[in-house]
């Protein structure tokens, strides 16, 4: 059976889980304890030489990097979540990369400093936080405009580009990123978050974060 290695609070891991759910796949979600060094063991490093999550083990086929995993699962299952025509592929990749490299990078800066740093007692990098917020102000209006043209990023059907961005923006509330000014984006997000591929993972990122914080307080 397909195994997905990760944690509940990782956007790349959740991207893979959302895709696997959208494809209707059965899989085992193998939770790894990063703080306890479980991603640095000899056996884990054989799967991912940098000790990162997610990794999948698909009956012995090992793969890392969430977008590569998502594309592999989609192709293996002959799904149209990723297109097959040349220009459609190019446009799909455009929105996947825009989501990952611009919005994803900015969200990582914000969530590291506002969400993770307080939990792991790491210092807050105020410049990185400021840059992250400035990048979001610059790049989110571009997504908002795109979603005024289509229901989804690349047209009238949900695709990997949407699932990718959904996973990236999942920690928005936890990171105090106010998306309410982006009406199309908010509508798009509410629609996706109500679907089973998402609710099968969690009700919201904030819910999972609160549960995690509560369990840390008990220990």
Ligand X SMILES: N[C@@H](CCC(=O)N[C@@H](CS)C(=O)NCC(=O)O)C(=O)O
Q: Are 64 and 37 in contact (CB under 8 A)?
A: no
Choice between 96 and 143, CB closer to ligand X: 96
**61-64 vs 2-6, strand pairing mode:** unpaired
**61-64 vs 27-31, strand pairing mode:** unpaired
Q: Are 107 and 175 in contact (CB under 8 A)?
A: yes
# residues near ligand X by CB under 6 A: 11
CB 35, min distance to ligand X, A: 10
CB 132, min distance to ligand X, A: 15
Q: Are 185 and 140 in contact (CB under 8 A)?
A: yes
Choice between 51 and 155, CB closer to ligand X: 51
CB 71, min distance to ligand X, A: 12
CB 65, min distance to ligand X, A: 5
Task: List the interface residues with ligand X, window 124-153 (CB under 6 A).
Answer: none
Query: What CA–CA distance (Å, rounded) separates 93 from 87?
Result: 10
CB 135, min distance to ligand X, A: 17
Q: What are the counts of helices (DSSP H) followed by strands (DSSP E) for the chain?
A: 11, 4
Choice between 70 and 158, CB closer to ligand X: 70
CB 9, min distance to ligand X, A: 8
Residue of 4, 5, 10, 192 interacting with ligand X (CB under 6 A): 10
- From residue 165, alpha-carbon distances to 83, 92, 182, 199 in Å are 17, 12, 14, 16
Choice between 71 and 182, CB closer to ligand X: 71
Choice between 15 and 189, CB closer to ligand X: 15
Single out the residue of 162, 166, 174, 184 nearest to residue 209, CA to CA. 174
Segment contacting ligand X by CB under 6 A, of 5-13, 86-94, 136-144, 177-185? 5-13
Task: List the interface residues with ligand X, window 24-83 (CB under 6 A).
Answer: 34, 39, 51-54, 65-66
Q: Are 38 and 22 in contact (CB under 8 A)?
A: no
> Which chain residues interact with ligand X by CB under 6 A?
10-12, 34, 39, 51-54, 65-66
């Amino acid at each position: 059976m397909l195994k997905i290695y990760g944690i509940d609070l990782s956007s790349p891991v959740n991207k893979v889980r959302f895709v696997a759910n959208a494809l209707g796949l059965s899989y085992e979600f193998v939770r790894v304890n990063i703080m306890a060094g479980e991603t640095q063991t000899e056996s884990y490093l054989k799967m991912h030489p940098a000790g990162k999550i997610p990794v999948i083990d698909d009956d012995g086929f090992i793969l890392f990097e969430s977008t590569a995993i998502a594309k592999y699962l989609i192709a293996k299952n002959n799904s149209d979540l990723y297109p097959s025509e040349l220009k459609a592929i190019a446009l799909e990749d455009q929105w996947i990369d825009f989501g990952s490299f611009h919005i994803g990078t900015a969200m990582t800066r914000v969530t590291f400093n506002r969400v993770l740093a307080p939990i792991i007692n790491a210092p807050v990098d105020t410049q990185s936080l400021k840059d992250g917020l400035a990048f979001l102000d610059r790049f989110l209006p571009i997504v908002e405009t795109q979603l005024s043209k289509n229901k989804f990023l690349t047209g009238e059907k949900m695709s990997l580009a949407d699932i990718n961005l959904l996973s990236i923006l999942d920690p928005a509330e936890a990171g105090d990123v106010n998306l309410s000014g982006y009406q199309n984006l908010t509508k798009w997000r509410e629609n996706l978050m109500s679907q089973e591929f998402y609710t099968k993972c969690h009700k919201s990122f904030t819910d999972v974060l609160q549960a995690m914080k509560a369990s840390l307080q008990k220990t």
